[in-house]
C-alpha cells in the first residue's frame, strides 16, 4: 500500500475513518485500558473485508509527503536501493538504473493521490535521495507531469537545504509542475553553481507561472541574483492572493510590472530590509489587501508603514497588521515606532507587535480603543516602551477597551502596568451588556501581561478587572509562566471567581 511505512502506520491511517469503540468486531473489548495493538488486530479483520475503505485509506496515506522518497520506493529493487540508518528513521535512497516507462506505472498511480509535498511535516528529513539519483531523473522524459494533483509544493522538500543546486535540479522541478498547484514555497533559494545563474532562475520562475497559472499562494526567499525578474514573473499570476517574500535586501529593486500587477492580492508578508519592502509595496496594485506583516532586523519600520498608509484603498481594507523584528543582542539600538500610525487603518481587527520600541501610555491606548472599534486582538510582545517618566501604562488605560471594543478577545502588553491605584469604573451602561444565558454565553477575553508590574493588591485588581470586563469571560495569562507573582495571584483569583460562577449557574 505504501512501501515507506510499516504495517502499524498503515493501519492507523485506515482506522482514522472508523470509530474503534463503535465497530461490532470488538464490542467485548470496550475497556479503557485496551491495548491499542489488540484493537488494531481486531479492526484489521474489518478493514480487510471492506474494500470501500481502500481508496480513502490510500488517499490519506499519500495526501502529504515530505519528499520524492516514498514515490521512488515504489520502484522495484532492481531500480532503487534503500538503506536505513542505525536508528531506523532515516532512509537513504539511490537509483541504480534509469527507470523506464513501465517502471513508473506503479509510481505514477500513487503520485496522483499526493496533494501536498511539504518538508515541514516532520522535524527532520526522513528520506534522503542522493544527488546523482536526481540527475538521473532529470534525463527521464516520462517523469514530466508525474505530479498531476499536488496543490501545495515545498521546493526544499524535493531537494533539501544541504546541496548547492545544479541546473539539472532546477529543470527537474520544473518538469513536475502541473496546473493544479495552488501553493508554492521555497524557504531558501540556494546559489547555483557558476554559469548562467540568473538565466536559470528566471527560466524556472517563468515555467512555474506558465505551468501553474492558478497559483494562489507563493512563499519564497527572494533570489539575490535576479530578485526583480522573479517578482516580475510572479506579477503575472492573476489569481495570487497571498505573497510572502523573505530576504529582501537594501538594494533598489528593479521591477518591470504590468498595469494590474498583483491585483488580486489579499495578504502580503515581507521580511528583510526596508528599501526593497517599500519598492514591493509600491508595485502592488491590489485594492483589497486585508493582511500585512513585516519583519525587520535593524531598520526603522515607520517608513514601511507610511508606504502602506499611502495606499488609500488599503487604509480601508486592512484588517490585520503584524510588525516585528528579529530578537537582537543587548545594547543594539531600538527603532521607535509611533503606535498612533495604526489609527490610519480604522477597520483593523488584529494588531501584533514583536521586539519593538513603541510609545505606549494611557493616552495612546485611549486613542487606539476609540479609533479602532472593531479591534479583536491587540498584542505587543517583548516590546520596549519609550515613554517619559510621568507617562506610562496604568489600569486606567484598560478602561476604553471595555467601552469601545465589544469584539475584543486578546489584550496583551509587553510593558509593565502600574497597578498602584484602582481607577473608578465608567458609568457607561455598555459594561453591563451580558447575554441572557449568563456566564456560558460570554465571549472569552484573554488579558496577557508580559512585563513586571507593581500592584496595589491582587484582590482589588482582580475585582476591578472582573467588573470592567463583565461582558467577557476573563482569563489572565502571565508571561513568563511561573513569574510575576502579583499577576499570578490575580490570575488565580479571576479563575476561582469564574469557577464558582459556573457552579452556581449549573
Kindly list the averaged pLDDT for each block of 10 residues, start to end, along the chain of length 506.
59 57 41 50 55 70 82 88 82 88 81 78 70 76 63 67 50 64 74 55 82 89 76 91 89 76 95 90 94 88 94 97 76 72 96 87 94 96 69 90 95 87 78 48 84 82 94 88 76 89 68
Query: Scanning the structure block, which residue is given the C-alpha cell 538503506?
Result: 83
Mention every residue, 6+ apart, whose C-beta is less than 8 A from residue 147.
111, 114, 117, 153, 176, 177, 178
Q: Global pTM?
A: 0.79
Q: Which pLDDT belongs to residue 35?
A: 54
The whole-angstrom separation of Cα 258 and Cα 235 is 7
In a domain, 91, yes or no: no
232 and 324 together in one domain:
yes
Q: Work out the end-to-end distance of the chain between its first and last CA atoms, rounded to an integer number of angstroms.
A: 51
502 and 379 together in one domain:
yes
Closest among 66, 128, 132 to 98, alpha carbons compared = 132
264 and 368 together in one domain:
no
298 and 369 together in one domain:
no
In a domain, 135, yes or no: no
In a domain, 175, yes or no: no
Instruction: Identify the domain boundary among 352, 367, 397.
Output: 352
- C-alpha cell read off for 447: 488579558
Closest among 270, 341, 356 to 310, alpha carbons compared = 341
254 and 310 together in one domain:
yes
- Per-residue CA distances from 168 to 92, 159, 179, 206, 328 (Å): 21, 11, 22, 16, 39
Q: Which pLDDT belongs to residue 193?
A: 43
The whole-angstrom separation of Cα 474 and Cα 497 is 10
Residue 219's DSSP bridge partners are 185, 244
- C-alpha cell read off for 430: 455598555
Query: Scanning the structure block, which residue is given the C-alpha cell 486613542?
Result: 367
In a domain, 369, yes or no: yes
In a domain, 97, yes or no: no
The whole-angstrom separation of Cα 53 and Cα 47 is 7
Phi, psi of 62 (to 5 degrees): -95, -5
Residue 411's DSSP bridge partners are 378, 447
Helices (H), 349-421: 362-371, 399-404
Q: Which pLDDT belongs to residue 84?
A: 85
Closest among 162, 4, 172 to 75, alpha carbons compared = 4
Which residue range(s) make up the domain with 502?
Answer: 359-506
299 and 394 together in one domain:
no
Residue 83's DSSP bridge partners are 92
In a domain, 389, yes or no: yes
The whole-angstrom separation of Cα 129 and Cα 162 is 12
395 and 320 together in one domain:
no
Q: Which pLDDT belongs to residue 436?
A: 39
385 and 302 together in one domain:
no
364 and 505 together in one domain:
yes
Closest among 283, 280, 289, 292 to 312, alpha carbons compared = 289
Residue 412's DSSP bridge partners are 379, 448
266 and 380 together in one domain:
no
The whole-angstrom separation of Cα 114 and Cα 110 is 7
145, 174 contact by CB (below 8 A): no
Q: Which pLDDT belongs to residue 217?
A: 93
Angular region, 296: left φ>0, alpha ψ -120 to 50, beta rest? beta
The whole-angstrom separation of Cα 367 and Cα 370 is 5
290 and 366 together in one domain:
no
384 and 323 together in one domain:
no
Burial 186-204 (b: 16+ CB within 10 A, else e): bbebbebeeeebeebbbbb
In a domain, 127, yes or no: no
Closest among 451, 505, 447, 506 to 473, alpha carbons compared = 447
* Sheet-wide strand order for 384-385: 336-337, 357-358, 384-385
In a domain, 191, yes or no: yes
Domain count for the chain, please give it.
Answer: 3
Amino acid at each position: 500500500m505504501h512501501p515507506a511505512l510499516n504495517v502499524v502506520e498503515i493501519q492507523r491511517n485506515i482506522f482514522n475513518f472508523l470509530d474503534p469503540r463503535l465497530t461490532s468486531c470488538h464490542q467485548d473489548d470496550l475497556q479503557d485500558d485496551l491495548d491499542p495493538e489488540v484493537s488494531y488486530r481486531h479492526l484489521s479483520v474489518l478493514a480487510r473485508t471492506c474494500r470501500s475503505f481502500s481508496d480513502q485509506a490510500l488517499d490519506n496515506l499519500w495526501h502529504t509527503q515530505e519528499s520524492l522518497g516514498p514515490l521512488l520506493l515504489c520502484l522495484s529493487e532492481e531500480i532503487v536501493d534503500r538503506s536505513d540508518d542505525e536508528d531506523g528513521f532515516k532512509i537513504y535512497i539511490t537509483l541504480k538504473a534509469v527507470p523506464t516507462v513501465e517502471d513508473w506505472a506503479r509510481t505514477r498511480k500513487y503520485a496522483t493521490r499526493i496533494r501536498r509535498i511539504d518538508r515541514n511535516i516532520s522535524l527532520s528529513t526522513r528520506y534522503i535521495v542522493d544527488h546523482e539519483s536526481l540527475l538521473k531523473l532529470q534525463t527521464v522524459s516520462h517523469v514530466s507531469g508525474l505530479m498531476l494533483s499536488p496543490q501545495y509544493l515545498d521546493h526544499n522538500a524535493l531537494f533539501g537545504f544541504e546541496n548547492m543546486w545544479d541546473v539539472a535540479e532546477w529543470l527537474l522541478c520544473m518538469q513536475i509542475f502541473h496546473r493544479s498547484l495552488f501553493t508554492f514555497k521555497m524557504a531558501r533559494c540556494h546559489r547555483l553553481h557558476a554559469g548562467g545563474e540568473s538565466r536559470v532562475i528566471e527560466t524556472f520562475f517563468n515555467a512555474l507561472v506558465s505551468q501553474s497559472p492558478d497559483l494562489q499562494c507563493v512563499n519564497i526567499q527572494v533570489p539575490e541574483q535576479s530578485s526583480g525578474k522573479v517578482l516580475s514573473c510572479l506579477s503575472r499570476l492573476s489569481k495570487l492572493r497571498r505573497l510572502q517574500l523573505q530576504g529582501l535586501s537594501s538594494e533598489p529593486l528593479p521591477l518591470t510590472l504590468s498595469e494590474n500587477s498583483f491585483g488580486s492580492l489579499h495578504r502580503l508578508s515581507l521580511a528583510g530590509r526596508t528599501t526593497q519592502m517599500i519598492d514591493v509595496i509600491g508595485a502592488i496594485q491590489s485594492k483589497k489587501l486585508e493582511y500585512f506583516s513585516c519583519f525587520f532586523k535593524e531598520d526603522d519600520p515607520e517608513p514601511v508603514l507610511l508606504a502602506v498608509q499611502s495606499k488609500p484603498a488599503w487604509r480601508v481594507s486592512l484588517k490585520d497588521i503584524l510588525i516585528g523584528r528579529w530578537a537582537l543582542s543587548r545594547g543594539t539600538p531600538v527603532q521607535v515606532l509611533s503606535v498612533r500610525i495604526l489609527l490610519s487603518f480604522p477597520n483593523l481587527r488584529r494588531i501584533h507587535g514583536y521586539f519593538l520600541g513603541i510609545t505606549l501610555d494611557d493616552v495612546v491606548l485611549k486613542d487606539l480603543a476609540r479609533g479602532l472599534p472593531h479591534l479583536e486582538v491587540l498584542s505587543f510582545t517583548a516590546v520596549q516602551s519609550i515613554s517619559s517618566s510621568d507617562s506610562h501604562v496604568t489600569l486606567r488605560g484598560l478602561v476604553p477597551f471595555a467601552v469601545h471594543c465589544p469584539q475584543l478577545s486578546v489584550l496583551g502588553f509587553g510593558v509593565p502596568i502600574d497597578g498602584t491605584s484602582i481607577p473608578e469604573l465608567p458609568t457607561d451602561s455598555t459594561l453591563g451588556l451580558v447575554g441572557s444565558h449568563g456566564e456560558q454565553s460570554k465571549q472569552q477575553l484573554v488579558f496577557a501581561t508580559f512585563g513586571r508590574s507593581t500592584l496595589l493588591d491582587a484582590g482589588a485588581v482582580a475585582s476591578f478587572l472582573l467588573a470592567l470586563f463583565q461582558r467577557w469571560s476573563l482569563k489572565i495569562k502571565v508571561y513568563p509562566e511561573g513569574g510575576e507573582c502579583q499577576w499570578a495571584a490575580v490570575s488565580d483569583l479571576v479563575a476561582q471567581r469564574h469557577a464558582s460562577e459556573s457552579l452556581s449557574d449549573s
